[in-house]
Amino acid sequence: MIIGIAGGIGSGKTLATDYLKKHYQFEVLDNDVTAREIVAPGTPVLDQIIQHFGADIILANGELNRPELRSRIFNNPSEKSWLEAVTHPAIREKTLEAIQQTPENAVLLLVSPLLFESGQHKFCDETLAIVAAKELQLTRALTRDGSSSAIIENIMLNQMNNEQRIELADQVLYNDSTIEDFYQQLDKIAQSWIKKLK
């Protein structure tokens, strides 16, 4: 069973999947992790990025300077489009490979901030949208990412809004209250998936 988990930056996707992996032993396939893997040192995608943006897009340890790349593309729509044309097919290919390798009786959580925009929801049996107030998303992302508020806000503008996700998703999880409330909602949703799997 493949469950697509959508949510904007700072909505609580990782919080949810860490809990579900620990308490229910669900498999997790996170597009953010995949996006890092395809630009690891020595990969063809990273080589293309270096050729396009120049060697100064790389840190001293050989890894991609992600904050620098973010700042360049979110102020330049054509550069953003170029990067997506290179990275999105590679992410999609790696995601499909991972799905094919997942045991048939497992619950696989496919986590993506662009689940619906990328069409990856079509791989899923069911979808869950995790939503939070924009102010909370911004605060959480700033605390975690080390990016500027302008970049975080720009990322949010380039993602589907909460209303659109709620309309498209099969289930919705609200992350505006306490952590206990969040986990209680998550338990109910997880148990509904397990019933369907049986």
Report domain extents, the chain.
2-197
Is the pTM higher than 0.75? The answer reads yes
d(Cα 148, Cα 127) in Å, to the nearest integer? 31
pLDDT in tens, 40-86: 999 999 999 999 999 999 999 999 998 889 888 877 889 999 999 99
Q: Which two tokens stand for residue 146?
A: 């080390």
Q: What is the pLDDT of residues 5-35, one digit of tens each?
A: 999 888 999 999 999 999 999 999 999 899 9
Q: Which residues are CB-neighbours of 94 under 8 A, at least 6 positions away?
A: 34, 37, 38
CATH class of domain segment(s) 2-197: alpha beta
